Structure 1
Amino acid sequence: MATSSIFMATPITLLKKTPTFSVKCMSQTPQSGEPEVSKPATTPTLPQINIPPPPPPAPKVSTKFSDVLAFSGPAPERINGRLAMIGFVSAMAVELSSGQDVFTQIGNGGVAVFVGTSVVLTLASLVPLFKGVSVQSKSSGLMTSDAELWNGRVAMLGLVALAFTEYVKGSALV
């Protein structure tokens, strides 16, 4: 019985020793005409990680012969520009070394060299396009596909201007 009286006496003594405390609340009175709004308690939020969406898939490049060699297709201007770049540099090199103008160079076996170079360069330009490789996929840094287009355009104009100048002048430019 001694244990039960100790057990019964402990809660009574605890109740007598419980300290008292008070709670203070402060509130602001709403302005006239404003409804009283209670704000929900804010909980800390985790930072959001923004993962960029994956890039869109590259558009399929058509490998049809009519699309590759279409007027606005990837092949015609590039092939003509590449031929003009090679033609302008080689015409100027031969002119500087032998003093022959463009028309003399063409008359002295230049047609066969031109046709051979044209066939090789055209096939080399068409093979990647027929495999589905886009022109822009291999361009980076200084050597971009736009730079090649502009260099080809300038070379085409330069070759025509060289031939026209030599025709009007009647002799080699240099």
Structure 2
Amino acid sequence: MLNSLHFSGLGPERINGRLAMIGFVTAIGVELDNGQDLYAQIQTGGIPWFIGTSVLLSAASLIPLLKGVRAESKSNGPMTSDAELWNGRFAMLGLVALALTEYVKGGALV
């Protein structure tokens, strides 16, 4: 059970993936709404939102894991644990690509 929390375990990757999915959708949504790039979003109050979301989602992900509930046991249909891991990986790459693109472009992507 606690082996899942090691660096190479599924816990950290699943939690980081969930945070990346929320972060990517939020970053794009804010850009579409008011044109702020990712760096401006962070500078204008994004840090407290990031910390709060990170704590909430980490706790929500760790509690079932520590109780022995595995995401694989709750997978059915198109919403599988593998799909969640892949979506999280793509969201992590998307956030990095968004940040690099905005840095090179010098402003918001949209």
State the match for 2:59 in structure 1.
123
Deviation at residue 68 of structure 1 after TM alignment: 2.9
Whether contact under 8 Å (1:74, 1:135) holds in the other structure is: no
Residue in 1 aligned with 2:100? 164
1:69 aligns with 2:69: no
CA RMSD, Structure 1 to Structure 2 (Å): 0.7
**Greater share of helix:** 2
Larger Rg: 1
Provide the secondary structure at the position in 1 that maps to 2:10. coil
Name 2:84's counterpart in structure 1: 148
Instruction: Tell me which of the two structures has the higher relative contact order, counting C-alpha pairs closer than 8 angstroms and 6 or more residues apart.
Output: 2
User: Which consecutive unaligned segments of at least 5 residues does structure 2 have?
Assistant: none
Deviations 1:133-160 (A, max 9, x none): 1120000110000000000000000010
Q: TM-score, normalised by structure 1?
A: 0.62
Note if 1:81 corresponds to 2:31: no
Task: Give ranges in structure 1 of 5+ residues lacking alignment.
Answer: 1-61
Deviations 1:48-76 (A, max 9, x none): xxxxxxxxxxxxxx2x3xx2320221210
Whole-angstrom CA distance in 1 between matches of 2:33 and 2:64:
35
Deviations 1:59-114 (A, max 9, x none): xxx2x3xx232022121000000000000000000000000000000000000000
Q: Which digits, 9 at most, give the CA deviation of each residue in 1:6-39, with x for residues without a partner? A: xxxxxxxxxxxxxxxxxxxxxxxxxxxxxxxxxx
The alignment's TM-score, normalised by the length of structure 2, stands at 0.97
Amino acid at match of 1:103: Y
User: In percent, how many aligned pairs have the same letter?
Assistant: 69
Runs of 4+ aligned structure 1 residues displaced above 3 Å come to: none
